Chains A and B, each alone.
Chain A
Amino acid sequence: MKRIDKIQNFGRALSAMVMPNIGAFIAWGLITAIFMPTGWWPNATIDHLREPLLNYLLPLLIGYTGGYNVAGKRGGVIGAISTAGVVVGGNVPMFVGAMIMGPLSAWIIKKFDEKVEGHIRPGFEMLVDNFSLGIIGMILAIIGFLTLGNTVTWLSMWVGEGIKWLMMKHLLPLVSVIIEPAKVMFLNNAVNHGILTPLGVAQAEEFGKSIIFMLESNPGPGFGMLMAYWVFGKGIEKSSAPGAVLIQFIGGIHEIYYPYVFSRPRIIIAPICGSSACILFLLYVKAGLIGVISPGSIISVILMSPRGETLLLVSGVLIAAIVSFLISAPIIKNSSAVEKMAENKFTPKYKQKHDSSVKKSCAEIHHIIFACDAGMGSSALAASSFQKRLKQITDSVSVKHASVSSVPQEADVVVCLSALVGRAEHSAPWAEIIPLENFLQDPALDELLSRFSKNERELFSVENIYINQKADDKFSAIRMVGEALVKGGYVNRKYIDAMIERENVSSVYMGQGVALPHGTEEAKLEIISSGIVVFGFPQGVDFEGEKAYILLGVAGKGDDHMKILEHLGETLEDEEKLSRLLHATTKEDIYEILK
């Protein structure tokens, strides 16, 4: 794996502890925004919820999830136990502690379970399971309480001081120089939820709000750049921009704009400046957000604004958008030549590699997985829009979304942005990987779709002809014919068994050196679209004493079956054509006779 893939995977591990719990962060954020003393609707009683949610619920959830990701439910439980130790031992919201203790303690219990597996006396499993977790959990909670609690408190304070120093010296806008490029390298979730969210929450606890939530999630910079593409772009960039704007600015899925950055790498300067401008403005007016903005949508920004500051924060977002737009515009206008270069630079690397990998036929594709970094945002969007298109053709294929680091076993095809191909290949080596440049409009998606559309596949072509074949007996010959039908995308694999079954009922040998292997009537359901394959066996295949030299594999959907047989009958009835077929030596000759 390349280094960037490794960094992305580490970042993914961090953000994967936080992201499933974003809903809890939002609950906490809303309670804070609404009921705190300076909130929209102050209520001292309900406000009591705030601290326990922040100090206990959120770290425990992170600890549980961090453990769960390593070792399943047992990992989750022990992760929560040991996180509890750290939580009580420190006096800041213990997110960092949870992110260390959760996975670490889960790893310990996993190693323990592996050690004792198979050595437990039957009947004692539950006793060992419960007490091992309880005892190890106890020890880890105590260790966490005595050591890590203080260390993390000290560490958090130190980092918090560092950020305060950056803010005081007005240097915070400079972090955009790191954050914006990191974002488009698909480190967005890692940076935001792995690093910034815990810091922001700690700061919000201290001051009631934090600017840190805005550093990565600000929808303004991407919005401005996409608007510039909409106004000044050409071709597919222009036509796809409006949809992308909606998804990015309202839906809060920022991944949608990364490909627009890749197509002109130097345009990254636009979101950097936009984001910096916004931070500078917010520092100047001393505005901040109450809670996590996730997804990074303008709606989240409005909901997480403290009372009386909504206008300031929306202005901040708009400032970012305007600056980003103004800088993007000339770059887009003056760089059509550069763009072509960039396109050539970016795409062929993956495309070439991809061409050599095996392209699966529609018969082999049952599960399509759209993958992105977290498996929650852009992949979900792309999967649902692709599913809509696919549904018009077939219902038998499932389309789901997942993180590119944890592609489910059943995936036959993985679709992801080309920058993530390396990680996809690593986590799903068995699957066909389809790289995209754009999640919504990409020729690769059309190609994938076309594999399922019937009109694209011809009933018969030269590629369906196999000459100079050899088989030990009629069943292996029929299996070869069946495999060819599967490969051609005409039938599902089960059809092959039905062809064997059909041969057992009565022979498909039709006389005069020709056999017509096909499936049973019931197996018609396994036919995807009608097709014919031809196999030539120069030495003949034995069918109960008679020899077949030509096997014509038939898969006819519905009435097609009889039509195909009728057509073949018409051809083969002609003695002259039959003899030419039996003596043909090239695929082209056979094709001429049968077409």
Chain B
Amino acid sequence: MESRKITFGGKNGLHARPISSLVALVKSLDSQIMISTSKKQVKASSAFALLSLGITCGTELEIVATGGEESQNADKVVEFFNSITE
């Protein structure tokens, strides 16, 4: 189990478009990815669950990868989040 902590930097929050991309990314990985905020923890493969987190600019996130190439996959998700600026 690999875990990473980041602060979300997308100006407009984690809205529908990046969520679609994230779900697509997560589905291509061989680890199970969970994302949690102070509110709750959800599966990153469910778009609706991600929406329900209501992630806005400045929200602190924890990314947890289990199984498969855990470390590598966790980094890929972090990289994805960091690429979102708007």
Contact of A510 among B19, B42, B56 (CB under 8 A): B19
Contact of A511 among B17, B47, B53 (CB under 8 A): B47
- Of all chain A residues, which has the CB nearest B50? A569
Query: Given A506-B21, A573-B42, A573-B46, A566 and B51 touching (CB < 8 A)?
Result: yes
Which chain B residues border A521 with CB–CB below 8 Å? 12, 86
B52 with A570: CB separation less than 8 A? yes
Interface size for A (C-beta < 8 A) is: 26
Majority secondary structure of chain A interface residues (helix, strand, loop or mixed) = helix
Which chain A residues border B56 with CB–CB below 8 Å? 562
Which chain A residues border B17 with CB–CB below 8 Å? 502, 505-506
B1-36 contacts to A, CB under 8 A, are 12-13, 15-17, 19-21, 23
B46 to nearest A CB, angstroms?
6
B12 to nearest A CB, angstroms?
6
- Of all chain A residues, which has the CB nearest B46? A573
1/0 contact string of B32-49 vs chain A (CB within 8 Å):
000000000010001111
- Of all chain B residues, which has the CB nearest A505? B17
1/0 contact string of A511-523 vs chain B (CB within 8 Å):
1101010100100
> Is A351 among interface residues, defined by CB-CB distance under 8 A?
no
B86 to nearest A CB, angstroms?
8
> Is B54 among interface residues, defined by CB-CB distance under 8 A?
yes
Majority secondary structure of chain B interface residues (helix, strand, loop or mixed) = helix
Query: Given A506-B20, A510-B20, A562 and B13 touching (CB < 8 A)?
Result: yes
Rounded to whole angstroms, the CA-CA distance of A573 and B51 in the bound complex is 9
Rounded to whole angstroms, the CA-CA distance of A125 and B47 in the bound complex is 68
Which chain A residues border B23 with CB–CB below 8 Å? 511
B16 with A566: CB separation less than 8 A? no
B39 to nearest A CB, angstroms?
10
A516 with B16: CB separation less than 8 A? yes
B51 with A565: CB separation less than 8 A? yes
Interfacial residues, chain B to chain A (CB-CB below 8 A): 12-13, 15-17, 19-21, 23, 42, 46-54, 56, 86
Interfacial residues, chain A to chain B (CB-CB below 8 A): 502, 505-512, 514, 516, 518, 521, 561-563, 565-573, 578
User: Can you report 29 residue pairs joining A to B where beta carbons are below 8 Å apart?
Assistant: A505-B17, A506-B17, A506-B21, A510-B20, A510-B47, A510-B48, A512-B47, A561-B13, A562-B12, A562-B13, A562-B54, A562-B56, A565-B51, A566-B51, A566-B52, A566-B53, A566-B54, A568-B48, A569-B48, A569-B50, A570-B51, A570-B52, A571-B48, A573-B42, A573-B48, A573-B49, A573-B51, A573-B52, A578-B48
